[in-house]
Structure 1
Amino acid sequence: MTTRLKNIKIEEKSVLSLFKKYKAVIRFILTFLVVYITLSVIYSFYLKLSDGSIFYPDYFTNLVGLQCAALLEFFGYVIEVVKHPNEPSLKLIINGQYLARIIEGCNAFSVIILFASFIIAFSTRLKPTLVYVLTGSVFIYIVNLFRITILALGMFHYPKYEEVLHNIIFPGIIYGLVFFLWVFWVNMFSNLKMENVES
């Protein structure tokens, strides 16, 4: 019986030592999950509240559609953005040709939520974190507008490459950007931590 108790105590100590050893990793994972789930739930409520809104299918997707149309018009194309009759999306028509749908996933908010969750999970100081989340989110949003615009032009001029452009190259651009911003933050965060230790 005493041997069994000793074994249980040894196991408890080893679990506690593992917990202490990986405390930072566990904290990061839990913070990431809490922030990601919270922001995702808030965003899903926003989408539900958008049902029946004058901005179709929701405000931000509508805004992205109009801004991409403005960019394409700037490049000399005749653009129409109209409601899709059968699904919650916008039809993008270039020079009279129905080219693509702009769906809710095109507004980059799910990517911004992923980006923000990582940054918040990997931080200690509030002000630099909030500034980086805000500027990074705006940067992702702007790059996404140009990504959709260039994708639309690529599909218009090179329709046979639509699958490669839509499914590989352009998702790679937006996720590559997020990865770059994460790496930049980790390096910047390390420098901020060093400054705190020295001061």
Structure 2
Amino acid sequence: MLKDFKPVLGILLRFIIIYLVLLFAYQFYLNSFKAGGLDPFSRIIAEQVRYFQNSAGYPTQLYNDIPKEQVWFYVKSDYATRMVEGCNAISVMILFVSFVFAFYKGVKTFAFVLIGLILLYIMNLVRIIGLNIVMTDHKQYGKISHDYIFPAVIYGCVVLLWLIWIKFFALKNEDS
């Protein structure tokens, strides 16, 4: 009977191991930058958001709040939003990578993960820019945008990538 569940248990075990290893590595990374404010990866994202918003006509400056480990976006003479570690989408990327590698299919797994991570990174930049624009120009929609619309965009992108991986790569017969 356990023999019937062996493939599913193998996938589940791979997912859990990969997820935990990446999660602990990320936590180690975060702990190493605790005294310096926002971690470097999140800071890079904030700088890129600032660049794109300035290019799009939304004058933006960044203000560091080192003790609280955050960066404030000062957009059009107003503190629109703040960037904290959770805004960098790494936790979402870890979930994505763990799932895809749980259904490992050789070299194409690495290629798909790389393309997926790039897409998720871009989607996260768009998400933060969109939220800043909403909070600057349409503040009344800020809560629904932050809590529902923009998370749906990033998580929807992850689910779509997972479906593509399963449908076109993971479950595809190797001999066809």
User: What runs of 5+ residues in structure 2 fail to find an aligned partner?
Assistant: none
Residue in structure 2 matched with residue 70 of structure 1 by the alignment? 51
Q: Work out which of the residue numbers 42, 48, 51 in structure 2 matches 1:61.
A: 42
Q: CA RMSD in A?
A: 1.4
User: What runs of 5+ residues in structure 1 fail to find an aligned partner?
Assistant: 1-16
Q: For 1:129 and 1:80, how far apart are their aligned partners in 2?
A: 39
Asked whether 1:184 is paired with 2:141, we answer: no
| Aligned length in residues | 176
Asked whether 1:34 is paired with 2:3, we answer: no
Deviates more, 1:113-122 or 1:56-65: 56-65
Which aligned runs of 4 or more in structure 1 are off by greater than 2 angstroms?
A: none
Q: TM-score with structure 2 length normalisation?
A: 0.95
Post-superposition CA distance 1:18-72 (Å, at most 9, x none): x11111111111111000000000000011112344xx41111000100001111
For the pair shown, which has the larger CA radius of gyration, 1 or 2? Answer: 1
The residue type paired with residue 152 of structure 2 is G
Q: TM-score with structure 1 length normalisation?
A: 0.84
Q: For 1:145 and 1:171, how far apart are their aligned partners in 2?
A: 12
Q: Comparing both chains, which one has the higher relative contact order based on Cα–Cα distances under 8 Å and sequence gaps of 6 or more?
A: 2
Cα distance, 1:99 vs structure 2: 1.0
The sequence identity of aligned pairs, in percent, is 33
Residue in structure 1 matched with residue 92 of structure 2 by the alignment? 111
The residue type paired with residue 162 of structure 2 is W
Q: Quickly say closer, same or farther: Cα 1:190–1:109, change in 2 above 3 A.
A: closer
